[in-house]
Amino acid sequence: MDCHNKSPEVQVGKDTLKFLLMGNPNVGKSVVFSKLTGVEVLAANYTGTTVGYTKGKIRNLKKEGILIDVPGTYGLEATSEAEEVAVSFVKEGADAIICVLDATNLERNLNFALQLKKFDIPMIFVLNLVDVAEQQGVIIDSEALAKELDAPVIPTVAVRNVGLRELITVMEKVGKRQKEVCYTAEKELVEEEETRWKEIGRIVEKVQTLVEREPSFTEKLGYVSMQPWPGIPLAILVLVLVLGFVVGGGKAIRGVLLLPFVYNVYEPAMTAFIGGFITEGTIFYNVLVGDYGVLIKIIEWPFALVLPYITLFYIALSILEDSGYLPRIGVLMDGALRKIGVQGGSIVPFIMGYGCAIPAILGSKAATTHKERVIVASLVSLAVPCTAQTAAFFVLLGDESIWMLVGVYGLSILAMIIGGSVLNRMLPGKVDPMLLEIPNLLKPDVKTVVQKIKIRVKHYLVEAQIPMALGILFAAIIAETGLIHGISDFLSPVVTGWLGLPGEAGLALMLGIVRRELAVLPLLDMNLTSLQIFTGATVALFYLPCLSVLAILIKEFKLKTGLAIAGTTLVAAFLIGGAINQTVRFISSIL
Amino acid sequence: MSLYAIKKEHRCIIENLPKIGLLKSLGLREGINVAIKSKQPMGGPVIVQVGRRCVAIAQDIAKDIQVREVN
Ligand SMILES: Nc1nc2c(ncn2[C@@H]2O[C@H](COP(=O)(O)OP(=O)(O)OP(=O)(O)O)[C@@H](O)[C@H]2O)c(=O)[nH]1
Ligand SMILES: [Mg+2]
């Protein structure tokens, strides 16, 4: 076998040192990476957070050096797309591998470490999570371990910067390698398994001391949360609390703080200001500050209506992610999820999808079969509203009646069940049975969580604003120039005839191509009936994923599958929305 | 007997397991002592404690793992 195939392209200067950051999943590699390079990558407490690789220049190192954050892997036989990335990196070689070990699970981590050592690349070991190990009564003698591994071992608490300076000191000593790495003896690895585990047993015996400890509160909670009783009621309670926090909190912030500001301060000020230059009533004036005025909507929609919900949702999601609770929900749901062709572990990309579909689709790389990946990506694109759209729903439906909100989310879940079952039957192949490590339940580190929320909110502010602004500008021009009437006439067989919406609602459909929440927000100012609101929301829910999601779908699954997924969502939107409208009208006509 | 047949909170020693690379990488191998920590309804997985960590194993796989009960 050629060991140099399939290597990802890495451009490195001639004298730049290349360090690979490797190890089992969920041991803290991404945290170490962010701290050493200052490059922000997301870390979370479950297997498969990092699915692609990130490169970063190492700060505070006297020489020129780059560090590569590699997805975690249990062994050198790749079992998912994410693990393939990792394996191809070792085969490409590096000047040194920084292998991160989880101090709470030394045995299994050494199994990977000893395999890595065979590649004959200089190694530096980072013994991370020593704080958690200590709480659990696990004491590891890092000096003895260094002797056994014949390489430096640095104990760290990565989230609190403990030990990172020592790590840099050791990294200074690494030199540029000339040798090519070529390791092909994969058969040998299998034969060696027996002896390797014996060796591991011997090392662990020597370096690890266990102290009897009463299980801590988090350990007990970790245990009960994966029992069907009381785990399932607990999961429902968590869901209700999160919803209450996001819906209630968002409504309060926008009602008390943001909307009064926009309507009472910003809008009058802006209108007066523009009025000073441009005569009221002209087209240009209306485009800027009229009904769909860009300068008004560009503040009202993304900041006053959507931002509070986005922030609160990511606060909740980030805490849940770092606690290690999500995989436990996956375990409880596995039996049910398997019926729609996904494993319990895939609950994580679904939950992420309620934030944004892009990380969800990328995260599905951790799935072990392509079939499962396609199912997850399709269902997320079809029926999981992102936070921005959810925020728009809360405003549109929540103000009408809470039951409409429940109805739309019920429809979303129903569509996932039906869609999943159909795809599961239709797509060839089968989905692997679940085999998933359950992480320790941890008290999330406040700084890490705050950092993560910042990254995500910033991402919304930067990435979403340009398409949003263009969309709003486009809407303003169409609406204010009267072009809207031509478009309404053109779309009216579908929009008015089939969906029962006013002609202007065509605007929502056009904007919805750009971003999901824009398929909802224009409906706000149209004085719709309850039925129209519900139909509009349903269409928006299933309607095309936004442009960026479409791009990711095509990139990850090729043009054909990407367009097939998008096309299906479009058809589903019109079919289901229209069916609801026609049925309700029919029933009320005979009553 | 199979791992799936073991009751909650009982321990057993693994005697034979299917050739799934990930099983071994997760630390499940012949001769080790594991404890069942929970069993999920609706054909869901069993949760097994291996060393200091819990692993969820699907029913299909658990049925293929041969064990000897110890208690
Ligand atoms: N208490 C504590 N938590 C840590 C420490 N290091 C990392 N964590 C947490 O452990 C979790 C896993 O960290 P990640 O950096 O995402 O792990 P990873 O190795 O990159 O995982 P994959 O990308 O899935 O392979 C996160 O929730 C971190 O906040 C530590 O030293 N102490
Ligand atoms: Mg990572």
Q: Atom 23 of ligand 1 has which residue's CA nearest to it?
A: A50
Looking at the fold, whether A206 and A258 belong to one and the same domain comes out as no
Give me the CATH number covering residue B49.
2.30.30.90
The fraction of chain A above a pLDDT of 90, given in percent, is 69
- Average pLDDT of the residues in A249-261: 93
Looking at the fold, whether A450 and A555 belong to one and the same domain comes out as yes
Give me the CATH number covering residue A133.
3.40.50.300
Q: Quote the mean pLDDT of chain A.
A: 90
Looking at the fold, whether A278 and A195 belong to one and the same domain comes out as no
Supply the pLDDT for residue A585.
Answer: 95
| Dist CA A202 CA B17 (whole Å) | 24
Supply the pLDDT for residue A12.
Answer: 56
Looking at the fold, whether A204 and A238 belong to one and the same domain comes out as no
| Dist CA A326 CA A73 (whole Å) | 20
Looking at the fold, whether A375 and A469 belong to one and the same domain comes out as yes
Quickly state the pLDDT bin for A40 (edges 50, 70, 90).
Answer: confident
The fraction of chain A above a pLDDT of 70, given in percent, is 95
User: Which of A24, A27, A31 gets mutated to test ligand 1 (max ligand atoms within 8 A of its CB)?
Assistant: A31
User: Which of A33, A47, A49 gets mutated to test ligand 1 (max ligand atoms within 8 A of its CB)?
Assistant: A49
Q: Is B20 on the interface with A (CB under 8 A)?
A: yes
Q: Does residue A523 belong to any structural domain of this protein? A: yes
How many angstroms is it from A157 CA to the middle of ligand 1? 10
Rounded to the nearest angstrom, the minimum Cα separation between B32 and chain A is: 11
| Nearest of B7, B43, B66, B2 to residue A433 by alpha carbon | B43
Comparing CB atoms, the residue among A105, A112, A227 nearest residue B52 is A105
- Average pLDDT of the residues in A86-107: 92
Q: Is B31 on the interface with A (CB under 8 A)?
A: no
- Judged by its nearest atom, the ligand closest to the C-alpha of residue A34 is 1
Looking at the fold, whether A129 and A237 belong to one and the same domain comes out as no
Q: Is A208 on the interface with B (CB under 8 A)?
A: no
Residue-wise pLDDT tens digits, A192-227: 788 899 999 999 999 999 999 889 999 999 999 999
Q: Does residue A586 belong to any structural domain of this protein? A: yes
Supply the pLDDT for residue A5.
Answer: 34
Determine whether the interchain pair A107/B27 forms a contact, defined as Cβ–Cβ distance below 8 Å. yes
Q: What ipTM does the predicted assembly reach?
A: 0.96
Q: Does residue A9 belong to any structural domain of this protein? A: no
Q: Is A188 on the interface with B (CB under 8 A)?
A: no
Determine whether the interchain pair B54/A344 forms a contact, defined as Cβ–Cβ distance below 8 Å. no
Distance (Å) of CA A199 to CA A127, A186, A203, B14: 19, 19, 6, 20
Looking at the fold, whether A547 and A412 belong to one and the same domain comes out as yes
With a 6 A CB cut-off, is A166 part of the ligand 1 pocket? no
With a 6 A CB cut-off, is A70 part of the ligand 1 pocket? no
Supply the pLDDT for residue A8.
Answer: 39
Find the range with the poorest average confidence among A36-45, A177-186, A300-309, A475-484: A177-186
Determine whether the interchain pair A434/B56 forms a contact, defined as Cβ–Cβ distance below 8 Å. yes
Supply the pLDDT for residue A481.
Answer: 84
Looking at the fold, whether A370 and A459 belong to one and the same domain comes out as yes
- Average pLDDT of the residues in A114-128: 92
- Whether residue A74 contacts residue A25, with contact meaning beta carbons closer than 8 Å, is answered with yes
Q: Does residue A10 belong to any structural domain of this protein? A: no
Quickly state the pLDDT bin for A190 (edges 50, 70, 90).
Answer: low
Instruction: Count the domains in chain A.
Output: 2
Q: Mutation target for A interface from B40, B57, B59, B64: give the one with most A CBs within 10 A.
A: B40
Instruction: Count the domains in chain B.
Output: 1
- Of A175, A210, A245, which residue sits at a domain end? A210
- Whether residue A403 contacts residue A322, with contact meaning beta carbons closer than 8 Å, is answered with no
DSSP secondary structure of B29-58: -TT-EEEEEEE-STT--EEEEETTEEEEE-
Q: Mutation target for A interface from B23, B30, B42, B64: give the one with most A CBs within 10 A.
A: B42
Looking at the fold, whether A269 and A182 belong to one and the same domain comes out as no
Domain containing residue B54: 3-69
At position A492, the amino acid (one-letter code) is: S
- Whether residue A344 contacts residue A434, with contact meaning beta carbons closer than 8 Å, is answered with yes
Count of beta carbons in the 10 Å neighbourhood of residue A334: 26
Looking at the fold, whether A390 and A501 belong to one and the same domain comes out as yes
- Average pLDDT of the residues in A262-269: 94
Comparing CB atoms, the residue among A104, A336, A344 nearest residue B52 is A104
A-chain residues near B24 (CB < 8 A): 75, 193
Paired sense of beta strands B53-57 and A96-102, if any = unpaired
Residue-wise pLDDT tens digits, A298-314: 999 999 999 999 999 99
pLDDT score of A158 more than 90: yes
Paired sense of beta strands A435-438 and A208-210, if any = unpaired
DSSP summary character for residue A86: H
Q: Does residue A222 belong to any structural domain of this protein? A: no
Q: Does residue A382 belong to any structural domain of this protein? A: yes
Looking at the fold, whether A379 and A498 belong to one and the same domain comes out as yes
| Dist CA B35 CA B28 (whole Å) | 12
Q: Does residue A219 belong to any structural domain of this protein? A: no
**0.95 exceeded by pTM:** no
Q: Atom 13 of ligand 1 has which residue's CA nearest to it?
A: A28
Q: Is B1 on the interface with A (CB under 8 A)?
A: no
Q: Is A196 on the interface with B (CB under 8 A)?
A: no
Question: What angle, rounded to 10 degrees, do the helices at A307-323 and A446-459 form?
Answer: 140
Looking at the fold, whether A363 and A477 belong to one and the same domain comes out as yes
Copy the structure tokens of residue A250.
């968002």
Q: Does residue A2 belong to any structural domain of this protein? A: no
DSSP summary character for residue A19: E
Residue-wise pLDDT tens digits, A373-386: 999 999 999 999 99
Domain containing residue A536: 228-434+445-590
